[in-house]
């Protein structure tokens, strides 16, 4: 009786990478499906059929423990032409969730920008300030003691872009928070706060 031959890779790190790649592209129950398979990203036929071609490609392209597989085009599929072997740092910068800032008119990942100016150690401090609505210049330069004392008010702050007249209009305007945020050029949290009366109280008190 003939025995079925196996690839012998079940216990290899790359086998788990391969299985995870297929699952987030093909399984709607996977936590990552929304930003992979849900967006139409798939795994090429060659890699989908067997782990062996994927394993061989990875090894031939320099994969070793501590490295990871990254898609060159974040909107492209998993295939030899669109993948590369990189460090975890590079991979994290290419993820959809990478936090970006605008510097001199160009969009750049916050981590990369802070490394370029030798401020990477302050990443979490600066990101928390930006999340809170501070303009980049103030987030970079104000002393640590002022992190959450108050929201910075400047012409570049999302909150200050709205006039009271606009806020009054938003109170009764229909639409999702994100739809209204896009329309008025502010964050959805600003819209949520206006609707709930947490900000622009004069608008909700009419």
Torsion of CA 120, 105, 183, 185, to 10 degrees: 50
Q: Rounded CA gap, 80 and 48, in Å?
A: 12
pTM of the model: 0.46
pLDDT 10s digits, 9-66: 888 989 999 999 999 899 999 877 877 898 888 999 999 999 999 999 999 998 888 7
User: Average per-residue pLDDT in the chain?
Assistant: 77
pLDDT 10s digits, 166-205: 877 887 888 888 888 888 888 878 887 777 766 655 454 4
Closest CA to 17 of 55, 57, 44: 55
Residues 204/192, Cβ–Cβ less than 8 Å = no
Torsion of CA 124, 130, 134, 139, to 10 degrees: 40
Say yes or no to pLDDT of 158 above 80: no
Buried b / exposed e along 89-118 (16+ C-beta atoms within 10 A): eebebeeeeeeebeeeeeebbbbebbeeee
Q: Rounded CA gap, 205 and 147, in Å?
A: 30
Closest CA to 94 of 79, 81, 108: 108
Q: Rounded CA gap, 170 and 200, in Å?
A: 11
pLDDT 10s digits, 39-51: 888 999 999 999 9
């Amino acid at each position: 009786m003939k025995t079925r031959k196996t690839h012998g890779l079940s216990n290899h790190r790359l086998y788990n990478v391969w299985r995870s790649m297929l699952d987030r592209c093909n399984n709607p129950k996977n936590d990552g499906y929304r930003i992979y398979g849900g967006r139409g990203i798939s795994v090429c036929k060659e890699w989908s059929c067997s782990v062996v071609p994927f394993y061989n490609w990875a090894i031939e392209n320099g994969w070793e423990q501590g490295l990871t597989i990254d898609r060159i085009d974040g909107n492209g599929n998993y295939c030899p032409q669109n993948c590369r072997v990189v460090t975890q740092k590079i991979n994290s910068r290419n993820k959809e969730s990478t936090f970006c800032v605008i510097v001199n008119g160009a969009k750049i990942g916050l981590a990369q920008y802070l490394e370029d100016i030798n401020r990477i150690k302050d990443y979490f401090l600066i990101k928390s300030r930006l999340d809170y609505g501070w303009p980049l210049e103030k987030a970079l330069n104000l002393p640590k003691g002022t992190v959450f004392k108050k929201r910075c008010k400047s012409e570049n702050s999302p909150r200050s872009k709205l006039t009271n007249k606009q806020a009054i209009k938003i109170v009764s305007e229909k639409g999702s928070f994100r739809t209204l945020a896009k329309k008025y050029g502010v964050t959805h949290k600003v819209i949520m706060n206006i609707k709930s009366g947490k900000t622009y109280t004069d608008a909700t008190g009419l």
